[in-house]
Amino acid sequence: MIDLETEAVGAATVVRPKGRLDMVAAPQLRTLLDRLIAEGSSLVVVDFSATDFVDSSGLGAVVSGLRAARQAGGDLRIACVAGQVATVLGLTTLDRVFRAHATVEDAIGAGG
C-alpha cells in the first residue's frame, strides 16, 4: 500500500506518493488526483521525492491526472524526480510530456 500525502502550498496542491507507485497503488493515486481536480485544484504538483519505484500503471495514473487537470483548465506538474522514477520516465519518453522540476517550489512557479 502507498501513502499519499497532500498539502496545499499557495494555490497549488502537492501530492507526495511515498513508497511504491505500482499497479496496486496506481488506482489510489488516480482517484485522489480526480477528486482534487473535481474539487477545484487548478494546479497539482506530484512530488516524487519519497517514491521508491514507479511502473507503467503508476505513470498511467499521473498521465490520467494530467489529462483531467488540463480538461478542467489547470495543470499537473512533477517535481523531485530521481533514480528509478527518472529512468522510467526516460525509457517511456514521458520526460518529453512532463518537464521534471528540481523542487516543488520550482514546479509551482513554472509557467505552462
pLDDT computed for residue 2 by the predictor:
85
Question: What pairs with residue 51 in β-bridges?
Answer: 19
pTM for the whole structure: 0.94
Summarised one tens digit per residue, pLDDT across range 61-110 is 999 999 999 999 999 999 999 999 999 999 999 999 999 999 999 999 98
pLDDT computed for residue 110 by the predictor:
83
Summarised one tens digit per residue, pLDDT across range 35-61 is 999 999 999 999 999 999 999 999 999
For residue 70, give the nearest of 20, 24, 112 by alpha carbon.
112
Query: For the domain 3-109, what is the CATH superfamily, name and number?
Result: STAS domain (3.30.750.24)
